[in-house]
Amino acid sequence: MRADGAPSAGLVTLTPVATRDSAALNLTVVAAPVVVTLDGAGKFARTVVAGNDPGLGAISYLQVDERIDGESRTYTILVPESASATGLDLADSEFLEPVPAMAGYVLLSSIGVTVAPLVDNLVPAVHLPPASSGIVGQIQLIANAAVALSGHRVVTSRPDGTLEYASNAIVAHLHAPLWLTQGAVSTGQPATVLAYGTLIESSWAWIPGAPLFLGSNGLLTQTPPIAPAALFSAQVGIATRTTAAFFDRQPSIGLV
């Protein structure tokens, strides 16, 4: 509700933090965003997944992106089993720190593939790749560049472990790991890339609160990709300020 008592207007996007497979229910809950519009009273209601199924795990996280009355904010909430009986009011929910989407992934590195066993739905720290120096809260990786790379571009791994630009027009990159270069490097040189966390770049001019998508040739964009130019849409983060972004690769959505 607005300060003058009038109903608020806008959109709310609800995105499960990760795709979840349930053997008990024989289904897969895809981590695809659901966009809802506030009604004439400034309210909305949607059904989301709670954490009560042994096949899915006992915890369900939901990312909430609000675009209401010209203001934007993004946060993560826990959806408990008890909410299935009582409902869940966003105004009463406890906001959580962002949950890394890579927590349940198979981790790729320049030296091979490591399948990390989950403990409480998280990868134990011992199985995470070593982090280089950087901002607290970042996860960084180091791999050699297959081609000359510019800074602050999205890259992925070739079969030999070297890095090349990622593109939403290349079907092989649909479910590939995506990282963000920290700076420019020459062919064959080691590149430090951001897998998760905040990055600041003075030349950026993002719209704060709006999502960041993988574009073509490794470029970041805030324009949602569309077919046929793009084969898939992959949100890779969100702008926290005009010159800052939080990088967090989300599951891709096929467009064709």
Tens of each residue's pLDDT in the chain, 256 residues: 677 778 888 888 888 777 766 666 677 777 778 888 888 888 888 887 776 655 555 456 778 888 887 788 887 877 777 777 777 887 777 666 554 444 433 333 333 444 445 555 555 555 554 444 455 567 888 899 999 999 999 999 998 889 999 999 999 999 899 999 999 999 999 999 998 888 889 999 999 999 999 999 999 999 999 999 999 999 999 999 999 999 999 989 998 6
DSSP code of residue 237: E
Does residue 247 share a domain with residue 129? yes
What pLDDT score was predicted for residue 161?
87
- What is the number of domains present in the chain? 2
Does residue 189 share a domain with residue 146? yes
What residues contact residue 205 under an 8 Å CB cut-off, 6+ apart?
Answer: 242, 243
Does residue 148 share a domain with residue 117? yes
Q: Does residue 220 lie in a domain region?
A: yes
- What CA–CA distance (Å, rounded) separates 64 from 96? 11
Taking the whole predicted model, whether its pTM rises above 0.75 is answered as no
Output the six-digit token pair for 1.
């509700």
What pLDDT score was predicted for residue 99?
47
What residues contact residue 45 under an 8 Å CB cut-off, 6+ apart?
Answer: none
Q: Does residue 54 lie in a domain region?
A: yes
Please identify, among 96, 111, 126, the residue that sits at the C-terminal boundary of a domain.
96
Does residue 213 share a domain with residue 125? yes
What pLDDT score was predicted for residue 130?
47
What residues contact residue 98 under an 8 Å CB cut-off, 6+ apart?
Answer: 63, 76, 246, 248
Q: Does residue 3 lie in a domain region?
A: no
Q: Does residue 4 lie in a domain region?
A: no
Does residue 182 share a domain with residue 70? no
From residue 82, give the alpha-carbon distance in Å to each of 21, 54, 74, 86. 21, 15, 24, 7
Does residue 130 share a domain with residue 66? no
Does residue 244 share a domain with residue 156? yes
Domain span at 89: 10-96
Does residue 121 share a domain with residue 64? no
Please identify, among 67, 96, 125, the residue that sits at the C-terminal boundary of a domain.
96
Output the six-digit token pair for 32.
């695809």
Does residue 163 share a domain with residue 117? yes
Helix-strand-coil split of the chain, %, nearest 5: 5, 40, 55
- What CA–CA distance (Å, rounded) separates 100 from 166? 20
Q: Does residue 194 lie in a domain region?
A: yes
Please identify, among 30, 65, 96, the residue that sits at the C-terminal boundary of a domain.
96
Does residue 111 share a domain with residue 54? no
Does residue 151 share a domain with residue 65? no
Task: Supply the DSSP string of 146-205, one letter for each residue.
Answer: SS-B-TT-EEEE-TTS-EEE--TT-GGGTTS--EEESS-B-TTSEEEEEEEEEEE-TT--
Does residue 151 share a domain with residue 32? no
